[in-house]
Structure 1
Amino acid sequence: MSGRVVYLDGKQAQLAELPLKGGGQAAVFPVEGDHGTVVKLYREPPGPDQERRLARMLTMSPLAARPTDQSQPPELAWPTAIARGAEGEFLGYAMHRFGEPEHVQLVGLFTRTQRLRLFPERADWRFLLGVSWNLAFMTARMHHDHLVIGDFSSSNVVVDGNGFVTFLDCDSIAFTDAVTGEPFPCLMHTTDYSSPERQSGAPATRASDDFALAVLVYQLLTAGNHPFGGVPHESTSESTVKDNIAASCSYVVRPELVTIPRGTVDPSVLPPELLTLARAAFGPGVHAPAARPPAEAWLRALDRERARMRICPHRPLHTYGSHLATCPWCTRAALTGHDVFNGPAPVPLPPPPPAPVTQDVPVGGGRFGAVKVAVLLIVVLVLIVFLVGRQGQ
């Protein structure tokens, strides 16, 4: 069954009945007959500010001056048309479609099962390092173009099979209109990636983007571990990631203060330069935005590490930082029985039981086992006794 009809630049478009995804404020619907386009419809009638924001975004071409490889997808799911109803009312906007199997949400890289399903034979630590580099590059590039991502999270970024990233939900990006000078702030945020000032209601800034970037890079390089996970020892109730961020309580900086979740990857898997950046972001940088490493710092450090990482000689999906003398993933698998990057190892077949060892004794030109020889001797003795008895009769 078809869904509602909308008008994109005056042209009628039939939407599917069921959305591809939905959130608290909007839902995204595919366009029937057009696999490459989706329409985001707001659940509540958006105000004139949002309509004006989208109208101004349609006049912009962010990142257009940057040359990209032909295999690289668009870096931003930028609006392509305003969606209106039959009476001309503002409903939402259209954008290019980025979905499975070509693109998956970044959060899909945070678990082994998903990594192996989505990126078989590719999603090793080297791949995650490359995705981190692309994420840092895009953040730095957007800041250079005076754009602030704002609602920066693992659900608002998708990645393709080559590790290229694309930012979704661009209608919440903060910018100042170069023509009119009107600022369009971003008040949307995702708590697990929000700095304390964002949680308090402050608008997005480059520094708040840098905080979210640090969390995402750390998660990628530790195969999904959030740096503010765990429960503080002094907590009287179940603590959330949001609470730990607000309290500046990260096991990456102060592990002695936190009951660390079982199975957490040790922060030492990060090369020293990257770990130093993480500890700056999750320590003094939590409440001091100026102390957070900018995207450019992450980009430079990630670039250096990409050129010198190591490959494990024993397991094909084990790659790791150049600072480590031995493979941390093999060590972890040996200690826990859980391999972060490989599927379950095939169970080896049990060796065949050894053949019974017997001493061969030569008898009459043939070779018989010891048991056979004993039986033959008994038969001979019985025969002798029988013959002696016959002679005595």
Structure 2
Amino acid sequence: MSGRVVFIGGERVVLAENPLKSGGQAAVFEVEGQPGSVVKIYHEPPGPEQERRLCRMLTMAPLGGRPVDFTQQPELAWPTAPARDPGGEFVGYAMRKFGEPEHVQLVALFSRAQRLRMFPDRADWKFLLGVSWNLAFMTARMHDEDLVIGDFSSNNVVVDRNGFITFLDCDSIAFTDPVSGEAFPCEMHTADYSAPERQAGGPATRASDDFALAVLIYQILTAGNHPFGGVLHDSDSQATVKDNIAASCSYVVRPERVVIPRGVIDPSVLPPALLALAHRAFGLGVTNPPARPSAREWLVALTQERPSVRTCTARPLHSYGSHLDACPWCARLAATGVDTFGATPLPDGTPVPEQEWGLRAVLIAAAVIVLILVVVVLTYA
């Protein structure tokens, strides 16, 4: 069934009945007959400030206005036109569609199953290092253009098969109109990526972006481990990541204060220069914003590390930092039975976790033994 009718740049379009996704502020709908476009419709009527924000954004061409090469998708899901209801009221905006199978949310890289499904032949640590580089590069470029991401999280970034990223929800980006001088703040933020000053109601700044960037890079390079996970020894067992950030306590910096969750990857998998930046971000930088490493500092450190990544001789999907003498993922596989960056495939090509394959192998072996016994009995009967 068809859904709502809106006008995009004067053209009448029909939206899909059900949204692709819906959040607290708005819902995103596909456009019938236009597979490459979507429309974001606000749940509540947006005020004049939001309309002025959008109109100003439509006159801007951030980051040069186009991808840096022909293989790369647009770097920002920037508004392309206002959306109005049949009465002419502003209700949202149109933009390019970014979704599967071409793009997946950054959070998918934190899941072994999702990495194997979406990037079966390239989702190794070297690929994650490249995604981290792209994320730092994009953040630095946006800061150079006086744009603050604000609501910076793993759900607001998508990545394609080449590791290129695109920022979503650009209507919440903070910026100042250079013509009128009007400031457009970012009111949204995601708790697990919010620095203490943002949790306390402070404005989005480059420094708050730097905090979120550090968390995301650490998560990417440790296959999903949040640096503020775990429970503090002297806190409520129901404490959350948000609580740990507010308490300025990360197991990366203060492991003695945290009951670290099982399965957490040791921070030492990060090369020394990157681990030093993480210590700054999750130590002094939690409560002292100027002490946080900038996007450009992350970019320099990541650039220096990329050429020297090593590849495991035993498993081609195991790559790791040049500071390590042996493959950490093989050691983890031997200790836990879980292959963080690989899987034994089933006959149909579907990856299977090592634990499941171990059970499957036992069952197959048992079936073979039974068959041999049957053959022996029949032979000598």
The residue type paired with residue 126 of structure 1 is K
How far apart are residue 98 of structure 1 and its match? 0.4
Question: How far apart in 1 are the matches of 2:13 and 2:314?
Answer: 54
Cα separation, 1, equivalents of 2:45 and 2:236: 42
The alpha-carbon deviation at position 67 of structure 1 amounts to: 6.3
CA contact (8 A) 2:156 2:167 kept: yes
Specify the alignment match of 1:12 in structure 2: 12
Which position in structure 2 is the counterpart of 1:131?
A: 131
Q: Tell me, yes or no, if the aligned pair for 2:152 and 2:189 is still in contact at 8 Å.
A: yes
Q: Distance in 2 between matches of 1:66 and 1:51?
A: 24
Q: Is the 8 A contact 1:187 1:201 kept in 2?
A: no
Question: Is the Cα contact below 8 Å between 2:67 and 2:74 reproduced in 1?
Answer: no
User: 1:298 aligned to 2:301?
Assistant: no
Inter-partner Cα distance in structure 2 for 1:270 and 1:66: 33
Aligned runs of 1:48-59 on 2, under 5 Å?
48-59=48-59
CA distance in 1, matches of 2:11, 2:65: 30
Give a deviation string over 1:43-66, Cα, whole Å, max 9, x none: 011111001000000000001167
Identify the residue that residue 162 of structure 2 maps to in structure 1.
162
Residue 180 of structure 1, CA deviation: 1.1
Distance 1:228 1:81 in 2: 39
Which residue in the other structure is 2:218 paired with? 218
Q: Could you say what secondary structure the match of 1:5 adopts? A: strand
| Counterpart Cα distance in 2 of 1:202 and 1:39 | 30
- Structure with the larger helix share: 2
> How far apart are the structure 2 equivalents of 1:268 and 1:280?
15
Distance 2:117 2:67 in 1: 31
Partner residue of 1:23?
A: 23
- Deviations along 1:354-391, one digit per CA (max 9) or x if unpaired, are xxxxxxxxxxxxxxxxxxxxxxxxxxxxxxxxxxxxxx
> Structure 1 residue runs of 4+, over 2 Å off?
344-353
Aligned length: 353
How far, CA to CA, are the matches of 2:88 and 2:78 in structure 1? 22
Q: Paired residue for 2:347?
A: none
TM-score, normalised to structure 2, is: 0.91
Measure the CA separation in 2 of the matches of 1:321 and 1:106. Answer: 22
Q: Identity over aligned residues, as a percent?
A: 71
SS in 1 for 2:152: coil
Which residue number corresponds to residue 384 of structure 1? none
Partner of 2:42: 42
The residue number in structure 2 matching 1:86 is: 86
For the residues of structure 2 that align with 1:199 and 1:236, how far apart are their CA atoms?
19
- Distance in 2 separating the partners of 1:52 and 1:237: 46
Q: Partner residue of 2:117?
A: 117
Q: Whole-Å Cα distance in 1 between the matches of residues 327 and 66 of structure 2? A: 38
* Cα offsets for 1:144-203 (capped at 9, x unmatched): 011000000000000000000000000000111111111111121000000000001111
Q: Could you give the per-residue CA deviations for residues 321-362 of structure 1, whole angstroms, max 9, x where no partner exists?
A: 000000000000001111111114566676999xxxxxxxxx
- 8 Å Cα contact 1:187/1:202 also seen in 2: no
* Counterpart for residue 209 of structure 1: 209
**Amino acid in the other structure paired with 2:334:** A
Indicate the residue corresponding to 2:105 in structure 1: 105
Question: Is the contact between residue 39 and residue 83 of structure 1 (CA under 8 Å) also seen in structure 2?
Answer: yes
Distance 1:66 1:23 in 2: 28
Superposed CA RMSD in Å reads 1.4
- Tell me the distance in 2 between the aligned counterparts of 1:221 and 1:198: 25
Partner amino acid for 1:32? E
2:274 aligns with 274
| 1:314 partner SS | coil
Aligned to 1:151: 151
Q: SS at 1:93's partner residue?
A: strand
Question: CA contact under 8 A between 1:195 and 1:211: conserved in structure 2?
Answer: yes
**Cα displacement string for residues 93-147 of structure 1 (whole angstroms, at most 9, x for unaligned residues):** 0000000000000000001001001111111000100000000000000000110
1:307 and 2:307 correspond: yes
Give the corresponding residue for 1:197.
Answer: 197
Distance across 2 between alignment mates of 1:191 and 1:290: 20
Match of 1:322 in 2: 322
